[in-house]
Chains A and B, each alone.
Chain A
Amino acid sequence: MIIAERKPIDEILEFLSRYQKVLVLGCGGCVTVCLAGGEKEVGILSSELAMARSKEGRPVELVQKTVERQCDFEYLEGIRHLVKEVDAVLSLACGIGIQTCNEAFPDKNTWPGVNTRFLGVNLNVGEWAERCQACGQCILDKTGGICPVARCSKSIFNGPCGGSQNGKCEVSPDTDCAWALIHDRLTRLGQVDSLREIMPLKDWSYSRDGGPRKLVREDLELESGK
């Protein structure tokens, strides 16, 4: 899922400083699961913002709403009337949801309430780790199901580099060396000899490097275009 984290409160207060009425908009998707922008976080942040603004002597009226998903235009249609009544929107969705709001409501600012951090997994309560970089051409079949693009600090394809010691990455003792993990996993599976092969240059054009990506599946498209 997409992992996000609330922005520093001062940044949010700064965005909203000129508004009297703001819609604090949560998302029921990934940010709810990672405790950054669901209904509960909308409530807590609204409370905090309201108190901060009262303290400044410039109260703000906050409307709270959480939609099923902010990354689908359909769900945003249902809150058009709410957006109409406010000066601006503060979205607690990931970068995708924030942009979808801005696109759906072009006449109002939707401000980012979170920093979208990465695509990852929940390891423990309050602990998440990156797992995928959406590079567009999965090689997990070759690396024992462990992604070096996302999990090696250098995204190298023929690791581990010389900075791997005791299974940890040179970047931080808290970071596992992805290539040590790959090596160990393939050893466990009896497939470690496959690492003798040199992995060829990566085609990064499937990744962000090829420009903003778009996926069209004609088999799914309807004649109306919607």
Chain B
Amino acid sequence: MKAGSNLERMLESGNFAVTGEIGPPKSCNGEVVRHHARMLKGYCESFNLTDNQTAIVRLSSIAAGKLLLEEGCEPNIQIVCRDRNRIGIQSDVLGAAALGIKNVLCLSGDHQKFGNHPTAKNVYDVDSIQLIKILDGMRNGYFANGEEMKDELPKLYIGCAANPFADPFEFRVTRLEKKADAGADFCQTQCILDMERFERWMELVRARGLHKRIKILAGITPMKSVKAAKYMKKFVAGMMVSDDIIERLEKAEDVKEEGVNIAVEQIQYLKKMEGIAGVHIMAIAWEDIIPEICKRAGLTPRPEV
């Protein structure tokens, strides 16, 4: 065990893992985070806490992680490379570890152009792969500069993201390999709205044996509306939405219900796919749907490990 988190135990024991995602609020109202934590407790091994997602200022992921711990849930804090340099990031990781946070997910981060402070300067002192390497070094007792840590080492279970829907397609697998090489333990994929492409990607992943080196959690996002699906297809860079999903939503009497149906079917399908270690449910601004999806997909109750 590297960090001994629920997520790590679940994945390393070979159980199908479930992670969720909570977007911290655009305020200091911690009650929002607590509310989600109470509602979702017991449905997922851990919950991602986004780090100023889409470059919009929000309650910090580490602070939200602490609130989750207080509510008895396990956090998985995201760290993006956009806002902090190697000094700030390492400091925050030490702080997070001191608070009892064990899972950390390393991301490049959305460009600030998309956020609410588009005139900000970005940092990108390190990139997501270098960040994984830094954290791997830290848990083994070294700072990014090579200096040895003299005291307690942070216990970290290191995650990363993979986007099978971005280009160049084949290089996406190489990039996952680089992340595994850098020390990532698990990977959560971009939400799958094009299963065919995802399967092609997984074939390449399996061909290189990567699924044996890094735990892959498939991203699931229930669609709330046809408009959202179309928007994602057209405007979100690195997103693919297959026409059959849009068609199903368009034909549905209850679009939300159909969105959940699709998500449940996807999970059931992925459960049988070789190399898939779990699912990561990102119900964007729809966190309260997670219990229903989990129940219907047969992911409850969570096994004890």
Contacts and interface: CB of A to CB of B under 8 A. Distances in A.
A binds B: yes
Interface of A: 153-172, 177, 180, 183-184, 192, 195-196, 198-202, 204
Interface string B242-270: 00000000000000000000000000000
Nearest to A169: B237
A157 B132 CA distance: 13
B168 A160 contact: yes
B171 interface: yes
B130 A180 contact: no
B113 interface: yes
Contacts, number: 99
Given A163-B110, A201-B126, A195 B166 contact: no
B167 A158 contact: no
Given A162-B190, A184-B168, A204-B125, 19 more contacts: A154-B108, A154-B109, A154-B122, A155-B124, A156-B124, A156-B127, A157-B130, A158-B175, A160-B168, A162-B161, A162-B162, A163-B237, A163-B238, A164-B238, A170-B110, A170-B114, A196-B177, A201-B126, A201-B134
B81 A164 contact: no
Contacts of B125: 202, 204
A102 B86 CA distance: 37
B168 A198 contact: no
B133 interface: yes
A198 B182 contact: yes
A202 B85 CA distance: 12
B57 interface: no
Contact of A180 (B163, B167, B182): B167
A61 B162 CA distance: 63
Contacts of A156: 81, 108, 124, 127-128
Contacts of A171: 111, 113
A166 B171 contact: no
Given A180-B167, A184-B168, A198-B133, A163 B178 contact: no
A200 B167 contact: no
B129 A196 contact: no
B181 interface: yes
Interface in B87-112: 108-111
B139 interface: no
A201 B90 CA distance: 14
Contacts of B133: 198
A171 B134 CA distance: 27
A149 B181 CA distance: 23
A92 B217 CA distance: 56
B129 A198 contact: yes
Nearest to A173: B237
Contacts of A159: 127
B127 A157 contact: yes
Contact of B144 (A169, A177, A201): A201
Nearest to A168: B237
Nearest to A156: B127
Nearest to B113: A171
B34 interface: no
